[in-house]
Structures are given as structure tokens and as C-alpha cells.
């Protein structure tokens, strides 16, 4: 909802600022806020009159009130950010990537006979999880507070690659894929691979507390929500004769990949701005949390971190 409001606002501002002029939005913003609050108030009164809460449980009522409250607070925040300020719009792209940490899915039965290896300073044994995230976004950025505070949204394409491999000195691991009275069957696996892609809408708030000449240092928080585009699993055996059993073995893991995707993240970055207003940003993405489950089936992803590079181009000239 917030993203839609933001995008609509950006679009309406763009329409109203033809010719690259800066603008003041306070009057429009006040009108916007007044219209939204009147609409919400009217809807709430109608709901009360129609007694729609009569059949709702207290939990549902509480949830409705909570959602309404969050919506109103968000609108208030947007309105207050817009009040009495000059705004600029930038349009750009970002590209980022990093590693994904997570626990091995309980649905894989893997024999624990693998050699130990050093894992971020700790000794671990078992399969190695090599999972990564890579994304590419198209993002408008709305600078709303003296080149210090900005809101970003847009579209993001995210690709996860996940590989499970043997221990550091092991070329393979044993996967138990059948356990029946007739016998138990293991397969020697060199790699289990999975690729999942999502399309999401990010919403980010960026603050630049330190600006030295045309270089700024900033912090960013954001969240995103999206849907699955594609997923693919594959398996590499040590023996080619096993290839015909790939499907059977892959299907022993019943985890269905979530069609929804959401994360919450933060970053620290540095921004360089040219005289024409073009910005180049480099960010360190802090360990960030997944809000949805089962975005990968091989592992339970818990967090990711990495780096991001973005280039933003101004849509209006700066004053």
C-alpha cells in the first residue's frame, strides 16, 4: 500500500513538474492528506454504522484497528516528510549480491560422516552450504529533506543460488533417499543445486548524516515484498548411472518453495554526487532478515549480507 502511494505520488509530482523545475508540494500534500483522512474517517463511520464488527472476534477487530493505525501513521509520515520542502527525483539502477546463511533443511537425510572444516572461525562438519543472493533493481529515489533524507522504491529482480556440497575434503556426501523394509538406499552426491528467482517491490528510507563536499555517508533501512518467478533444482552424482533417479531423489525433499518473498534490510554506504546531480552509491548490506519462510528448499535461509552498487540520475536539475 505504502509503495503504491509513494509511486503514485512520484508519478503525480513528475506530471506536475514538467520542464525540470523544482516545486513545492505543501499545498498539494495538505489536500492529499485531508482527502485521505476524510475518506478513512468516513469509511470507519460507515463500518461502525453497518455494525460490521458485530461478527468479528476481538483479535480480528484488533487487527483491523492495527492495520488502519499503521496506514494512517504511514500517511502522516509521508505527509510530514513532504511538508514545506523542496524535492528532487532521481532514477537509477542498483546491482548487489552477497551470501545467504541458513540451516540445512531437515528434509534432507544426510549421513554425518563428513570431515570438519572451519566455518567463520568455528569448526563445523557436515555438508557445505554455498548460497548466494544477487539482485538488480530499477529504482526511483525521492529526495525529500535537503538532500539528506530520501525515499526509494521500484522493482527488484532477485536470484538465489544455493549449493550443498560435501565437507572441505570430501568430494561427495551420502544422501539417504529411501528407507524401506527391503533396504535403505544412499546416493553419492557431489552437489545439490537450487536456483530461485523473485520479483519484488522494495521500499527504502535513506539518511545522509555526513556530507563532505560531494561525498556523503549514509545509512539505509528497507523492506521488500515480492512473488516467485521461477525455481529449479538439480543434482550432480558421482556416478552417472544415477542420473536417471534425479527426479525421484529430488522429490524426497517435500519442502515447497514459498511463492511469496519478503525481507527487511539495512545498509551503510557512501555516495558521490557529480555537479550535474548524478549519484554513485556503494553500500555494505548489513546482515538482513528474511520475513518469509521456505524461500529456498535446501536450506532454511536466515539472513544475507553483501555489497551493492547503484547509479542514480536526476530527473530535474538541482537549484
* Number of Cβ atoms within 10 Å of the Cβ of 126: 19
111 in contact with another protein (CB under 8 A):
yes
Nearer to another protein, 12 or 184 (CB): 184
Q: Are strands 183-212 and 155-165 parallel, antiparallel or unpaired?
A: antiparallel
Instruction: Pick the binder of another protein from 7, 91, 170, 286 (CB under 8 A).
Output: 170
121 in contact with another protein (CB under 8 A):
no
242 in contact with another protein (CB under 8 A):
yes
Nearer to another protein, 187 or 299 (CB): 187
What's the min distance (Å) between Cβ of 121 and another protein?
21
Question: Which residues fall within 8 angstroms of residue 252, CB to CB, at 6 or more apart?
Answer: 107, 108, 109, 177, 178
174 in contact with another protein (CB under 8 A):
yes
Instruction: Write the DSSP string, 48-107.
Output: HHTTTTTTS-HHHHHHHHHHHHHHHHHHHHHHHHHTT-B-EEEEEEEEEEEEEEEEEPTT
Q: How far apart are CA 151 and CA 174, in angstroms?
A: 49
Instruction: Pick the binder of another protein from 104, 185, 286, 313 (CB under 8 A).
Output: 185
Judge contact between 81 and 149, C-beta under 8 A: yes
Instruction: Pick the binder of another protein from 19, 121, 181, 254 (CB under 8 A).
Output: 181
Q: How far apart are CA 198 and CA 292, in angstroms?
A: 12
179 in contact with another protein (CB under 8 A):
yes
Give the residue among 230, 245, 221, 207 at the shortest CA–CA distance from 295: 230
35 in contact with another protein (CB under 8 A):
no
19 in contact with another protein (CB under 8 A):
no
116 in contact with another protein (CB under 8 A):
no
Q: Quick one: which segment of 47-55, 95-103, 185-193, 277-285 binds another protein (CB under 8 A)?
A: 185-193
Nearer to another protein, 114 or 201 (CB): 114
117 in contact with another protein (CB under 8 A):
no
Nearer to another protein, 130 or 185 (CB): 185
108 in contact with another protein (CB under 8 A):
no
Nearer to another protein, 49 or 106 (CB): 106
Instruction: Pick the binder of another protein from 81, 176, 294, 318 (CB under 8 A).
Output: 176
Question: Which residues fall within 8 angstroms of residue 280, CB to CB, at 6 or more apart?
Answer: 271, 272, 309, 310, 311, 312
Could you tell me how far CA 288 lies from the centroid of its own chain?
Answer: 9
Terminal alpha carbon distance of the chain = 32
Contacts of another protein in 210-239 (CB under 8 A): 237-239
Given the rule CB under 8 A, which residues bind another protein?
111-113, 169-170, 174, 176, 179, 181-188, 237-239, 241-242
Amino acid at each position: 500500500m505504502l509503495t503504491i502511494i509513494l509511486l503514485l505520488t512520484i508519478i503525480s509530482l513528475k506530471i506536475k513538474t514538467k520542464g525540470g523545475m523544482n516545486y513545492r508540494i505543501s499545498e498539494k500534500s495538505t489536500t492529499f492528506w485531508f482527502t485521505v483522512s476524510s475518506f478513512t474517517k468516513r469509511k470507519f463511520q460507515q463500518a461502525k454504522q453497518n455494525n460490521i464488527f458485530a461478527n468479528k472476534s476481538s483479535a480480528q477487530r484488533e487487527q483491523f484497528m492495527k492495520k488502519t493505525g499503521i496506514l494512517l501513521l504511514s500517511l502522516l509520515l509521508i505527509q510530514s516528510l513532504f511538508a514545506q520542502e523542496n524535492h528532487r527525483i532521481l532514477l537509477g539502477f542498483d546491482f548487489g549480491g552477497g551470501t545467504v546463511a541458513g540451516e540445512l533443511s531437515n528434509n534432507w537425510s544426510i549421513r554425518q560422516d563428513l570431515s570438519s572444516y572451519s566455518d567463520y572461525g568455528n569448526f563445523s562438519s557436515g555438508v557445505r552450504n554455498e548460497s548466494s543472493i544477487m539482485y538488480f533493481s530499477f529504482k526511483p529515489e525521492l529526495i525529500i529533506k535537503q538532500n539528506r533524507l530520501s525515499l526509494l522504491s521500484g522493482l527488484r529482480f532477485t536470484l538465489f543460488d544455493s549449493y550443498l556440497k560435501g565437507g572441505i575434503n570430501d568430494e561427495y556426501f551420502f544422501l539417504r533417499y529411501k528407507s524401506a523394509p527391503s533396504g535403505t538406499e544412499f546416493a553419492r552426491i557431489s552437489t545439490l543445486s537450487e536456483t530461485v528467482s523473485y520479483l519484488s517491490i522494495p521500499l527504502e528510507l535513506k539518511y545522509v548524516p555526513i556530507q563532505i563536499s560531494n561525498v556523503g555517508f549514509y545509512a539505509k533501512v528497507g523492506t521488500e515484498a515480492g512473488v516467485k518467478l521461477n525455481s529449479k533444482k538439480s543434482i550432480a552424482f558421482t556416478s552417472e548411472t544415477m542420473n536417471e533417479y534425479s527426479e525421484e531423489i529430488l522429490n524426497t525433499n517435500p519442502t515447497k518453495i514459498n511463492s511469496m518473498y519478503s525481507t527487511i534490510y539495512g545498509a551503510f554506504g557512501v555516495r558521490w554526487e557529480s555537479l550535474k546531480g548524478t549519484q554513485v552509491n556503494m553500500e555494505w548490506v548489513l546482515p538482513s532478515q528474511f520475513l518469509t519462510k521456505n524461500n529456498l528448499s535446501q536450506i532454511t535461509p536466515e539472513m544475507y549480507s553483501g555489497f551493492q552498487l547503484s547509479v542514480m540520475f536526476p530527473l530535474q536539475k538541482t537549484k
